[in-house]
């Protein structure tokens, strides 16, 4: 699978402010960058820093008034689907140290408040079979509806409301997985067929000795996803963070399948 990515961000920064961009596709063994070009129109130089867990990179920029960023890329995805139900359990004490933070509650993924639900509803399941059951539950019980959540909506709020957008689906699946003893993190991604076209958020669960991408919205398969960044929740993977205030003028995210 080869994907073409075309992103334009056009904002007005209300006074001078630092801007953190997370829009570049991450290099990895399962996705190869054939072309990548990020252009930020600013009077100040940009600075790249490593992303969370060494995945991808963040770009620091400076905005003062009109702020525009353009990103183009061609990515080849070399990731094969995995039958999660066949993946076995790993005792928590034997998990790699880097997975442990993703077992703990975070600001938008209150996994500690969902432990009772997971223990009661999925008592006989662990590892891969539990991941499949949790994904199915989130997909079957939530309704995808734009405008029904905000930047402060948490997994518990989504659990109660039973509706949301990709960010909310990812938060709830991550929280449920952590409640069931599966390390889980949120991932910002590009994917074709996302409706409406936008930056996408999915979950990534550590099962059977490795990380596996899961889109509970069912809009994309793991073989269609281009990973950008990972983190505990949406706080860590926002495509643009302005340390000040900004007004959106225009934004476009286009992801297309290539021959």
Please give the model's pTM, rounded to 2 decimal places: 0.96
> Residue 184 — very low, low, confident or very high, per pLDDT cuts 50/70/90?
very high
CATH architecture of 84-237: Roll (3.10)
- State the span(s) of the chain assigned CATH 3.10.620.30: 84-237
Pick the CATH number of 2-78+239-258 from 1.10.3720.10, 3.30.1740.10, 2.60.40.2250, 3.30.750.24: 2.60.40.2250
- State the span(s) of the chain assigned CATH 2.60.40.2250: 2-78+239-258
Condensed to tens digits (0 to 9), the pLDDT of residues 117-168 reads: 999 999 999 999 999 999 999 999 999 999 999 999 999 999 999 999 999 9
Condensed to tens digits (0 to 9), the pLDDT of residues 70-84 reads: 999 999 999 988 999
Please state the three-class secondary structure of the chain as a single string. CEEEEEEEEEEEEEEEEEEEECCCCCCECCEEEEEEEEEEECCCCCEEEECHHHCCEEEEEEEEEEEEEEEEEEEEECCCCCCHHHCCCCCHHHCCHHHHHHHCCECCECHHHCHHHHHHHCCCCCHHHHHHHHHHHHHHHCEECCCCCCCCCCHHHHHHHCEECHHHHHHHHHHHHHHCCCCEEEEEEECCCCCCCCCEEEEEEEECCEEEEECCCCCCCHHHCEEEEEECCHHHHCCEEEECCEEEEEEEEEEEEEC
> Residue 43 — very low, low, confident or very high, per pLDDT cuts 50/70/90?
confident
């Amino acid at each position: 699978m080869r994907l073409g990515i075309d992103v334009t961000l056009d904002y007005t920064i209300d006074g001078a402010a630092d801007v953190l961009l997370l829009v570049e596709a991450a290099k990895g063994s399962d996705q190869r960058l054939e072309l990548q070009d990020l252009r930020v129109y600013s009077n100040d130089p940009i600075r790249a820093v490593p992303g969370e867990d060494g995945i991808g990179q963040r770009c620091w920029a400076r905005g003062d008034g009109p702020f525009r960023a353009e990103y183009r890329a061609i990515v080849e995805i070399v990731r094969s689907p995995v039958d999660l139900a066949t993946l076995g359990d790993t005792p928590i004490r034997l998990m790699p140290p880097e997975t442990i933070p993703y077992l703990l509650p975070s600001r938008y993924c209150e996994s500690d408040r969902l432990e009772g639900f997971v223990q009661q509803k999925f008592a006989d399941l662990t590892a891969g079979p539990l991941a499949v059951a949790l994904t199915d539950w989130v997909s079957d019980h939530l309704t995808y509806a734009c405008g029904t959540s905000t930047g402060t909506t948490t997994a518990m709020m989504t659990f109660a409301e039973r509706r949301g957008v990709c960010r909310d689906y990812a938060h709830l699946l991550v929280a449920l997985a952590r409640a069931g003893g599966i390390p889980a993190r949120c991932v910002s991604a590009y994917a074709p067929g996302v409706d409406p076209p936008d930056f996408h958020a999915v979950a990534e669960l550590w099962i059977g000795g490795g990380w596996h991408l899961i889109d509970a919205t069912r809009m994309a398969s793991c073989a269609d996803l281009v990973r950008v960044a990972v983190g505990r929740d949406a706080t860590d993977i926002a495509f643009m963070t302005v340390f000040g205030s900004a007004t959106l003028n225009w934004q476009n995210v286009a992801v297309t399948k290539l021959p």
